[in-house]
Amino acid sequence: MAAVTPRSLGLGALTLLNFVFVFGTGVEFVRFVSFRAIYHNLSGPGGAPQCRDSVGWAEALRRRSVLSSMCVDGGLILLFALQHSALAWPPLKRLCQAGLGVLHRGFYTFTTALTLQVLMRCWQPVSGAPCLWSVSGAPWDTWLPLLCFILHFLCWMVICSILLIFDYAELLGIKQVYYHCLGLGDPLSMKSPRAQRLFSHLRHPVFVELCVVLWALPCLPLDRLLLAVGLTTYLALGHSLDTQDCAYLHAQLRSKLQLFSQPVMGEGGASSTNHKTD
């Protein structure tokens, strides 16, 4: 076992602090993009409606307050997209790896969480324009938010499960520091070439679930439309799966299903078939 050094303790402390910050930001993002939108899009603070359906679209889009809020929100989405893409750009990624070493993945997740914090705290609701859709009549004003809540809850459970399957510790940069302190090298290099290829093409394995969360709402004001369109477009452009990746996923799924279909052996028993995944 590798000896504990002040450097390894420092790396561990930084990684732990980063995990707390990223995890807390993720919880805030769930509240911001999902559950707060379900219950607070229908009416703003003090019961004031966030949408003004009495105003036509032509008039609303000429209002300075509406255009100003849309420009701010669009800039925030662009800031997030630039950060998330620029640090993943191979030349800049190699530069970060050379300068930060084992902390480069943690730095990427830290800056991602930081830009999300800026987006959530500086977001400008658009209250001077009509909603694309809204439900205000009984009984759907009660039942639809409840159905959206259940749907969002299930989507977030699926997202959390997928992140765990896709090695959450490696995605956050925790495993890189742990392996470095133990002298084991880069954990990604220990995965098979096909798995590394898949990870390079699919670092956001939650596209469908996030799209459901972004669009399935009882009320869709203009600022939420901008957020949904911006993030959906970015997620769609971030995927580059091909037939080899799909074949690998199919092989892994078939292997897991075969593994779970094996009968449970008694004490001292042994399975007659060994399953190996690459």
Residue 274 lies in a domain: no
* CA atoms lying within 13 Å on the CB side of residue 252: 13
Give dist(CA 66, CA 221) in Å, integer.
11
pLDDT at 112 over 60: yes
The percent of residues above 90 in pLDDT, for the chain, comes to: 27
Number of structural domains the chain divides into: 1
pLDDT band at 100 (very low <50, low <70, confident <90, very high): confident
* Mean pLDDT value across residues 212-222: 90
43 pLDDT above the threshold of 50: no
In angstroms and rounded to an integer, the radius of gyration of the C-alpha atoms of the chain is: 23
The residue with greater pLDDT, 274 or 69, is 69
173-176: which pairs have CB atoms within 8 A and are 24 or more residues apart?
173/15, 173/18, 173/103, 173/104, 173/105, 173/106, 173/107, 173/108, 173/109, 174/15, 174/19, 174/106, 176/102, 176/103, 176/105, 176/106
Residue 154 lies in a domain: yes
Instruction: Report residue 130's pLDDT band, with 50, 70 and 90 as the boundaries.
Output: confident
Q: Give the per-residue pLDDT at 42.
A: 47
The overall average pLDDT reported for the chain is 79
Asked if residue 269 belongs to a domain, the reply is no
pLDDT in tens, 161-188: 777 777 778 878 888 888 888 887 777 7
Instruction: Flag whether 45 is in a domain.
Output: yes
As a residue count, the chain comes to: 278
275 assigned to some structural domain? no
Rama region for 101: left / alpha / beta (φ>0; ψ in -120 to 50; rest): left
Q: What is the pLDDT of residue 170?
A: 80
What is the structure's pLDDT at 47? 46
Cβ within 8 Å of residue 43, ≥6 positions away? 49, 50
Note the pLDDT tens digit of each residue in 18-39.
Answer: 999 999 999 999 999 988 878 7
Which neighbouring-strand residues pair with 133?
220
Q: Is 180 part of a structural domain of the chain?
A: yes
Is residue 238's pLDDT more than 60? yes
pLDDT of residue 277: 43
| Structure confidence at residue 270 (pLDDT) | 47
Pick the residue with more confidence: 91 or 36?
A: 91
Cα-Cα-Cα-Cα dihedral sign, residues 228, 233, 234, 240: positive
Looking at per-residue pLDDT, the higher value among 30 and 237 belongs to 30
Residue 226 falls inside a structural domain: yes
Lowest mean pLDDT among 28-32, 104-108, 136-140, 153-157: 136-140
Mean pLDDT over 70-86 rounds to 93
Q: How far apart (Å, rounded) are the C-alpha atoms in residues 198 and 193?
A: 9
Note the pLDDT of residue 126.
86
The CA distance from 35 to 254, in Å, is 35
Q: How confident is the model at residue 250 (pLDDT cuts 50, 70, 90)?
A: low
Query: At residue 138, does pLDDT exceed 80?
Result: no
Range of the domain at 150: 6-260
Task: Evaluate whether residue 204 is within a structural domain.
Answer: yes
CA distance 35 to 33: 7
Q: How many Cα atoms occupy the beta-carbon half-sphere of 23 within 13 Å?
A: 11
Within 13 Å, how many C-alpha atoms sit on residue 49's CB side? Answer: 15
